[in-house]
Amino acid sequence: MPGDSIVTNPSTTVRTSDPTNSEAVRRRAHFLLRAKVVDTIARIIGLVTLTAAIGYVVGFTLWTTWISFTDSTLLPDYAFVGFKHYRRLFHTHLWQVSYENLLIYGVCFMVLAASIGMLLAVLIDQKVRAENLLRTIYLYPMALSFVVTGTVWSWILNPSIGVQNFVRGLGWIHFRFDWLVDRHMAIYTVVIAAVWQASGFAMALLLAGLRSLDQDLYKAAQIDGASPAKMYLRIAIPAIWPIVLAVLVILLQFSIKTYELVQALTAGGPGIATTLPTAVVYDYMFQRGLMGQGSATAVLLLFSLLIILGPYAIYGRIRDRRMSRNG
């Protein structure tokens, strides 16, 4: 209308684009895009690697299982012959002796290595001086290869140059420690060498379990008048029982896969007194060229491992379900 005037509000301002702010937005968008690309590439690489690893293990396991049902020698022969090699294997003296050796060696190795490992863990758990040095000393054998361990113990246990010769040199001329050449005792020399190497490994796992326990448990037990031995036997060890069980399973896996230690220590002798199933697999496949028979032996060895891992996996799943329900 005539006479009206347009009033401009001086507080109203027109926003103009800030070059600095726009550059920051572009940099942030570029950073997010690059992070997304890197994450995608990492996922793809991880998926491909995992797929290749699973394919390699599962694929060759299935291939070996199929070969065990064939008459393959140096070259694969895919004609199916049934359970011929398995039946023959169960009637082979070499396989029977090797599996008996595995049972003796596996049980003795597992029990002794776990027991000594637990004893060392309990001793170190007392906050002794030079704890780091002791842990290093106990773990050092695990850093050695099985070939080195077997070679050194073959010198120590050799009657001509080892312990027997040393003790007789001190005057005990009737002392005997010739297990290495005694076919009835030779398998126990393998147990000695294996326990020496693996006890530190068991100690490290069990010590970690003991150190993870709440100190209030020990304080409550001390108030009740429990001795240190009772505290560990009735409180600590039951509390870390899942770790103890895991250690036992790992040690059993070690025993089933043992090969280099025996070859370096006794070479399976005297005769076949210390031969283990892994050596039978190698003998059939790479020395006799009987791939079908060797594959059957390998499948039975894998089945032995699954007998151990199967119940352990079931136990772990049941335990997780109970924890989820109680939690």
What is the DSSP secondary-structure string of 21-57? HHHHHHHHHHHHHHHHHHHHHHHHHHHHHHHHHHHHH
Residue with tokens 């005037």: 5
Burial class (CB in 10 A: 0-12, 13-18, 19+), 129: exposed
Comparing 13-22, 33-42, 98-107, 169-178, the range with the smallest average pLDDT is: 13-22
Q: Looking at 4-18, 59-73, 100-114, 221-235, which range is the least confident one?
A: 4-18
Domain that holds residue 320: 94-326
pLDDT, tens only, 211-239: 888 877 777 877 877 787 888 888 888 88
In a domain, 150, yes or no: yes
Nearest to 112 by CA among 238, 236, 255, 241: 255
What is the pLDDT, as a whole number, of residue 20? 63
Helix (H, G, I), strand (E, B) or coil at 70: strand
Per-state percent for the chain, helix, strand, coil, to nearest 5: 75, 0, 25
Domain-embedded: residue 117:
yes
pLDDT of residue 18: 56
Residue 10 confidence class, pLDDT cut points 50, 70, 90? very low
β-pair partners for 70: 80
3-class DSSP assignment, residue 269: coil
* Cα-trace Rg, the chain: 32
CA distance 173 to 160: 13
Instruction: Indicate whether 17 belongs to any domain.
Output: no
- How far apart (Å, rounded) are the C-alpha atoms in residues 236 and 229? 10
In a domain, 213, yes or no: yes
Q: 146: closest CA among 210, 190, 89, 100?
A: 190
pLDDT, position 107: 94
The torsion of the CA quartet 104, 106, 110, 112, rounded to 10 degrees, works out to 30
- Say whether pLDDT at 258 is over 70: yes
19 domain residue, yes or no:
no
Q: Is 14 inside any structural domain?
A: no
94: which 2 tokens?
Answer: 């070499």
Kindly report the pTM of this predicted structure: 0.80
Over the stretch 185-206, which tens digit does the pLDDT of each residue have?
A: 999 999 999 999 999 999 999 9
Is 291 in contact with 65 (CB distance < 8 Å)? no
Task: Flag whether 247 is in a domain.
Answer: yes
Output the pLDDT for position 8: 47
pLDDT digits (tens, 9 = 90+) for 138-170: 889 988 999 999 999 999 999 999 999 999 999
pLDDT band at 19 (very low <50, low <70, confident <90, very high): low
CATH number at residue 262: 1.10.3720.10
Mean pLDDT of the chain: 86
Asked whether residue 202 is assigned to any structural domain, the reply reads yes
pLDDT surpassing 90 at residue 274: yes
User: Could you give the number of structural domains in the chain?
Assistant: 1
Phi, psi (5° rounding) for residue 318?
A: -65, -40
